[in-house]
Structure 1
Amino acid sequence: MMNKNKLKQKLIDEVEENKAELINLCSSLIKIPSENPPGDSTEASQFIADYLGQFDLEVEWHESSDKMFNLISSIGNSDQGKHLIYCGHTDVVPAGNLTKWDFNPFSGEVKDGWMLGRGASDMKAGLSGLIFAFALLKRLQIDLPGKLSLAIVPDEETGGDFGVPWLLKNRIIHGDGCLIAEPSSPYNPTIGQKGSYWFELEVFGVPGHGSLSPLAGNNAITDAVKAIEQIQQLWDINIEIPKEVQPLIEVSKRYMREVEKDREKFQSVLEHISVNIGTIEGGTKSNVIPESCKVQIDCRLPFGISEEEVSTFIKNKLETLDIDYVIRPFGFRSDANYTDAENPVCKAITENITFVTKHEAYGVMQWASSDAKHFREYDIPVLQYGPAFLPSIHGYNEKVEVEQIIRCAKVYVAAVIDYLYAE
């Protein structure tokens, strides 16, 4: 009978012995600019395919949009056992103003124990760990009683239409469970997300000479301000959280109190609709009564309320104002979603975090959203776990601790054994 713990320890030791290769892999990926927009993944995709090719791993290329390539590679036996997907994205947010960086965002430099550069935390460190763990299982010729697929997507940071949802819609991937190497806390993978509802509100007015306002015309900007005041009341809705997810909410609050202690004051965001007035654009000149004002709004939805219910609430509020408006949904849209903590894919990750680190691990709720929702829409249980320095994500001077990259790769390779060799 196979001793799983012995095999896991062998693989963990191999990661430790070859950690320099892992760190070099991550550094090399960061050196390849893959900002989205524009979203050209050609160079990063070719580099990954070449790396996997060293170990005779075949890679399928799927171009979902111009110069956006999804890569799929699989090992194991597809005719028996379960199918596990390891997923990551190659795209990163733009580096922005280069003068505000303390280092070259595409240097991939390792300094004082930190990996530096755009994508270090989100998510080229996690992606490198997945690629390395996947290749390690192949080069060691581990006989898996099931299938492990590596799905590398080019489009997540702008909404992800040409990444995970494209692969699922076109039936290119499907599995029994999935791990996305998105940034997370070291001991707390993300097993649930709030929903998303992004929309643009456009309010229409009647133009006129500014010297006659408010007696003449109809000011679209002041009407939009009235509308914003009503929309912000979404936060005040008392939402009944379903019983089945209340334990997840409570353990996530514990996490915010005890782990990310600076987040303690934000605990209530898990049970309320957040409302962010992101952009506002209107008018042409100070002396012209504006005939149009556009406002883009990001709402995140807790469990217990749907996008349809939110839309109805907004419509009812705005109808009391006697304004001329239209609402156009766009971007991220989903209801709150989660994977049960007892699901085998969640247990495989959390239990191996503890196996590797000897530290308590448990899944928590994310107050934002991600590609995980797409897998759940196709009934694929999923969670997120990856190396990160959370304060640096999407900001200047992005970085991640080298030790976190190595630790996560150890968890990835051990979790495959527990998941696929499950009795």
Structure 2
Amino acid sequence: MNDLQALKAQLVEAVENHQDELIAFCSKLIQIPSVNPPGDTTEITAFIENYLNDVGITYQKYEAADKMFNLVASIGNGEGKELVYCGHTDVVPVGDLSKWDFDPFSGEVKDGWMLGRGASDMKAGLAGIIFATKLLKKLNIELPGKLTLAIVPDEETGGEFGVPWLLERGYVQGDGCLIAEPSSPLNPTIGQKGSYWFELEVRGEPGHGSLSPLAGRNAIVDAIRAIQEIRTLWDVEITIPEEVKPLIEVSKKYMREVEKDRLKYQEVLEKITVNIGTIEGGTKSNVIPDYCKVQVDCRLPFGITQEEVTEILTTKLDGLAIDYSIQRFGFKSVANYTPAENPVCQSIVENISYVTGQEAYGVMQWASSDARHFRQYDIPVLQYGPAYLPSIHGYNEKVRVEDIVRCAKVYITAAVDFLYQK
């Protein structure tokens, strides 16, 4: 066994021996509400600061917006490559409390599960990368280069005060990045579809409801016609670029053989998906509505740009002869990926196999994430984190404790491999 392999074996054993600290840390993160909106990360950021201070890890703290804090912390000698481990502190709202079987902010461990909002997305992953970095520091492991933590506050709303804010100002750079977002145990995500969110506003003419449809112009009725056209974006034929076809095919394999309940969703990898998310319009049942607003979430495959979608959409809606406007908001990106042969992808994938003893490979995600921002700055990136995927953003969110520990082992060994590579 060479020195590097011996070091990795030592680190896996150290994670095993300190796993109670990891689980307690994760539990406390869940117990601190950091719901976005509103996005106040004051308390959780202070808690993480204290955790880093325990072993003297230095960091910079940036308040990008009111009560939205970024932390950037580093260890290593700084004389080589830089690896970034990134995670977000914000979580989505809990929704109807009566539909939870437990307190969403309990952070309770029960029957091998960590329970609570953010358990899978993504406080377990966040705990893992912070814990792994702290453990390397505690053990006085001499790392070449630099391992940097980028802990951000504003991911769940697609906001601009987290990763993009740090990258724009040069506060985070790197030769590779791992985002501890939820993933399959053996299949990190190395590519994402693009995002195209927009609000459609349709304007009509008011009138007395007793005279409809002969009087006025019903904005809701016109919006329904518009929705019917918007939904046909799914039918747009798209030519997938040759260079990403292997990624599409291996992702379909994953959906067939691993997440078998996803088999029926294979088409989404090559289609524009359309979700009519919210509708708001009218004032009273007896008044012809003079406005209707519809928010839509589309995800874009490889092979089509946002500008092309706008052109297709405008052509469809112009043909209806309605009074409308479109305003983009939220997530905005085109499909993007990091090649599987990139060193950061290889380091994570190979160490998943090292830790689990099973074959691992990267796949494509049908949603979007902060990964797109890193790729815009030419920083290769992938996602790998503990999760019980069916519970993400839903009621009774949870994650297996063993998955939290497994991912921490991957994080700590992959950091060693990546930073020691010439």
Give TM-score scaled by structure 2 length: 0.98
Summarize deviations over 1:132-170 as a string: whole Å, max 9, x none: 100111111111111110110111111131110111111
Contact conserved, 2:159 with 2:330, CA < 8 A, in 1?
no
> Aligned residue for 1:40?
40
Summarize deviations over 1:221-245 as a string: whole Å, max 9, x none: 1111111111111110110000000
Structure 1 position 19, deviation (Å): 0.8
Summarize deviations over 1:154-213 as a string: whole Å, max 9, x none: 111111311101111111111111000001000000100000000011111111122222
Secondary structure of the residue that 2:264 maps to in structure 1? helix
The one-letter code matched in structure 2 to 1:17 is N
Structure 1 position 3, deviation (Å): 2.2
Distance 1:56 1:212 in 2: 73
The one-letter code matched in structure 1 to 2:344 is V
Distance 2:329 2:163 in 1: 18
> Aligned residue for 2:207?
208
Distance 2:232 2:104 in 1: 40
> Aligned residue for 2:389?
390
Whether 2:156 is the aligned partner of 1:165: answer no
Summarize deviations over 1:40-74 as a string: whole Å, max 9, x none: 11111111111111101112110001111101110
Secondary structure of the residue that 1:145 maps to in structure 2? coil
Structure 1 position 281, deviation (Å): 1.1
Secondary structure of the residue that 1:215 maps to in structure 2? coil
- What does 1:216-365 correspond to in 2, within 5 Å? 216-365=215-364
Distance 1:115 1:159 in 2: 26
The one-letter code matched in structure 2 to 1:254 is K
Distance 1:166 1:318 in 2: 35
Structure 1 position 83, deviation (Å): 0.5
> Aligned residue for 1:177?
176
Whether 2:56 is the aligned partner of 1:56: answer yes
- What does 1:68-147 correspond to in 2, within 5 Å? 68-78=68-78, 80-147=79-146
Distance 2:109 2:9 in 1: 27
Secondary structure of the residue that 1:388 maps to in structure 2? coil
Distance 1:403 1:74 in 2: 27
Secondary structure of the residue that 2:55 maps to in structure 1? coil
> Aligned residue for 1:413?
412
Secondary structure of the residue that 2:408 maps to in structure 1? helix
Structure 1 position 2, deviation (Å): 6.0
Distance 2:92 2:218 in 1: 36
Secondary structure of the residue that 2:174 maps to in structure 1? coil
Which segments of structure 1 move beyond 4 Å, counting only runs of 4 or more? none
Summarize deviations over 1:114-148 as a string: whole Å, max 9, x none: 11111111111111110110011111111111111
Distance 1:223 1:29 in 2: 47
> Aligned residue for 1:66?
66
Distance 1:150 1:85 in 2: 6
Secondary structure of the residue that 1:355 maps to in structure 2? helix
Summarize deviations over 1:53-99 as a string: whole Å, max 9, x none: 11011121100011111011101122x21100000011111222222
Distance 2:201 2:105 in 1: 39
Secondary structure of the residue that 2:36 maps to in structure 1? coil
The one-letter code matched in structure 2 to 1:235 is W
Secondary structure of the residue that 1:5 maps to in structure 2? helix
The one-letter code matched in structure 1 to 2:58 is E
Secondary structure of the residue that 2:167 maps to in structure 1? helix
Distance 1:325 1:235 in 2: 21
Secondary structure of the residue that 1:62 maps to in structure 2? strand
Alignment coverage as a number of residue pairs: 422
Contact conserved, 1:160 with 1:371, CA < 8 A, in 2?
no
- What does 1:183-194 correspond to in 2, within 5 Å? 183-194=182-193
Secondary structure of the residue that 1:299 maps to in structure 2? strand
Distance 1:323 1:76 in 2: 60
Contact conserved, 1:239 with 1:304, CA < 8 A, in 2?
yes
**Identity across the alignment (%):** 71
Contact conserved, 2:190 with 2:340, CA < 8 A, in 1?
yes
Secondary structure of the residue that 1:182 maps to in structure 2? coil
Secondary structure of the residue that 1:268 maps to in structure 2? helix
Structure 1 position 218, deviation (Å): 1.3
The one-letter code matched in structure 1 to 2:103 is N
Distance 2:122 2:237 in 1: 36
The one-letter code matched in structure 2 to 1:401 is R
Distance 1:318 1:28 in 2: 49
Secondary structure of the residue that 2:40 maps to in structure 1? coil
Structure 1 position 416, deviation (Å): 0.6
The one-letter code matched in structure 1 to 2:70 is N
Distance 2:151 2:128 in 1: 12
Gaps of 5+ in 2: none
Distance 1:94 1:228 in 2: 27
Contact conserved, 1:207 with 1:217, CA < 8 A, in 2?
yes
